[in-house]
C-alpha cells in the first residue's frame, strides 16, 4: 500500500509552516505566525519548530505592546 504524499503545510503553536521550495538539493520551509508576521525560514521541520519556540514569546510581547 502506498503512503499518501505529505501535506505542503503544517501548523505548530498558532503558526503556519509551509513548504516553500523542494528539490533534491534544497528544502525550504517558510514560517508565518497566524497574525501574518513572518518568523523566518527553516531547512527542515525540526528547525522550524525550534524557530517557532524561540521566536513566539518575543512576537507575543511585541504584539501585546502595540495593542
Residue 26's pLDDT is 78
Is this prediction's pTM over 0.85?
Answer: no
Tell me the C-alpha to C-alpha distance, in Å, between residue 7 and each of 18, 19, 29, 56. 9, 9, 12, 23
Residue 7's pLDDT is 64
- pLDDT tens per residue, range 6-46: 568 889 889 999 998 766 667 899 999 998 999 999 999 99
Nearest Cα neighbor of 34 from 48, 51, 17 is: 17
Residue 21's pLDDT is 74
Q: Please, are residues 15 and 56 in contact by the beta-carbon 8 Å criterion?
A: yes
What integer is the mean pLDDT of 55-59? 92
CA distance linking residue 35 with residue 2, whole number of Å:
37
Amino acid at each position: 500500500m502506498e503512503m499518501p504524499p505529505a501535506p505542503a503545510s503544517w501548523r505548530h503553536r498558532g503558526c503556519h509552516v509551509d513548504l516553500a521550495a523542494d528539490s533534491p538539493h534544497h528544502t525550504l520551509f517558510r514560517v508565518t505566525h497566524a497574525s501574518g508576521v513572518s518568523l523566518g525560514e527553516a531547512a527542515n521541520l525540526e528547525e522550524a519548530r525550534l524557530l517557532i519556540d524561540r521566536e513566539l514569546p518575543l512576537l507575543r510581547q511585541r504584539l501585546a505592546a502595540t495593542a
